[in-house]
Structure 1
């Protein structure tokens, strides 16, 4: 029986390593629950988690990424009050920082659909629908993950990056959605390994600060709706 219930947590501002450790713990427990069910031939509900968090300035490099896409050395990281982590998600390098909603869905996709491509497209759609609520038209860029503005012309710019890990159809890591993000930090990397495209935020597009808590609510509701979750 599919469990559509979602356990939601907002971790606020949290150090990247601490958040990664907490993610890994929930991820491992979720996989263990699935293995126990299979071993005992039982049908106990496997939980689904959705976590929102902000991180202090940090650069993360996915397992398929190129270290040279970080344009700072150790001294440069210290000058920018930033840290750097090589992690086990897909994708290349990205930046997380204040004013950005980082989403970590730790879902058992057996509860929803076992299709990673559909999973990524559904997360993208939740962000697209959230931006539309604020009057910002966005979409997808063929050949790339994430959510983009003006993807059909030379002004293409990314507003949300995605990078996930999946094992036994349990997901971790997720998305980084620029709301009031300091875009200057992206100048220190080649974002997602793409050196000829811009990065943007809701603040830049709207010309003003956006209520982050309100955006979280709109985004959460869109995720719940698209995945047909029980909140």
Structure 2
């Protein structure tokens, strides 16, 4: 199979979580169907890759291995906060998405790049770590916990970027959520990622100033394209 290193970039702006999830599923299925057809018909059709940037209205999502008790709100309280809740098919536990957060969903056929999920997750983290470094924020990994953290190994460890992915037949979906100017108060209603006693932070909180999200997206894309040796179209 010829490797397609082009990734179609789409910025969806502010979009409902469920609508975006359905759209992800549609793109994901299209790639998987092409792969199945290629195998069945011994064909060599190129598979597409996509990268979606999006910002969601207030929403809590629970991964398939997650524990519902990590959501600390009743249905009525959710409603009062103008937030929605979904159980979804990614890895990981519970997380929050909302305005001021950059969410990235790479829907890639990893056979176009490399077939290694562990490496894929590390590259996602690395793209964020390199982006934060441009703002003099030192992001690191926390052993056994996906995502990007600050001050790991100290009492002040805090998470700045959550990650949860799904992969099937080497096709990925879901992705990362980087807190840029997000309202961190919404995290008080959950035990983020099911990890008790760990704080969350944002670029805004760390730098004490509003951060240009468009610029952050450009930096993420720059580092992503270097790591994955790909081209955004």
Same fold (TM over 0.5): yes
How far 1:39 moved relative to its partner? 1.4
Q: Which deviates more, 6-15 or 215-224?
A: 215-224
How far 1:167 moved relative to its partner? 0.5
How far 1:152 moved relative to its partner? 2.4
In 2, Cα distance between the equivalents of 1:230 and 1:11? Answer: 19
Higher strand share: 2
How far 1:40 moved relative to its partner? 1.7
CA RMSD of aligned residues (A): 0.6
Provide runs of 4+ in structure 1 moved above 6 Å: none
Give structure 2 stretches of 5+ with no counterpart.
none
In 2, Cα distance between the equivalents of 1:163 and 1:153? Answer: 24
In 1, Cα distance between the equivalents of 2:93 and 2:138? Answer: 26
In 2, Cα distance between the equivalents of 1:26 and 1:185? Answer: 30
In 2, Cα distance between the equivalents of 1:134 and 1:36? Answer: 45
Query: Is 1:73 aligned to 2:74, yes or no?
Result: yes
Query: Is 1:197 aligned to 2:195, yes or no?
Result: no
**Structure 2 counterpart of 1:211:** 212
Q: Map of 1:112-191 to 2, 5 A cutoff?
A: 112-191=113-192
Query: Is 1:36 aligned to 2:37, yes or no?
Result: yes
Query: Is 1:48 aligned to 2:17, yes or no?
Result: no
Query: CA-to-partner distance for each residue in 1:172-200, whole Å, 9 max, x for gaps?
Result: 00111100000000000000001111000
Q: Which deviates more, 145-154 or 37-46?
A: 37-46
Query: CA-to-partner distance for each residue in 1:193-212, whole Å, 9 max, x for gaps?
Result: 01111000000000011001
SS at match of 2:172: strand
Equivalent residues, number: 231
Q: TM-score, normalised to structure 2's length?
A: 0.98
Give structure 1 stretches of 5+ with no counterpart.
none
Query: CA-to-partner distance for each residue in 1:133-168, whole Å, 9 max, x for gaps?
Result: 111111101111000000121110000001000010
SS at match of 1:6: strand
SS at match of 1:140: strand
How far 1:70 moved relative to its partner? 0.2
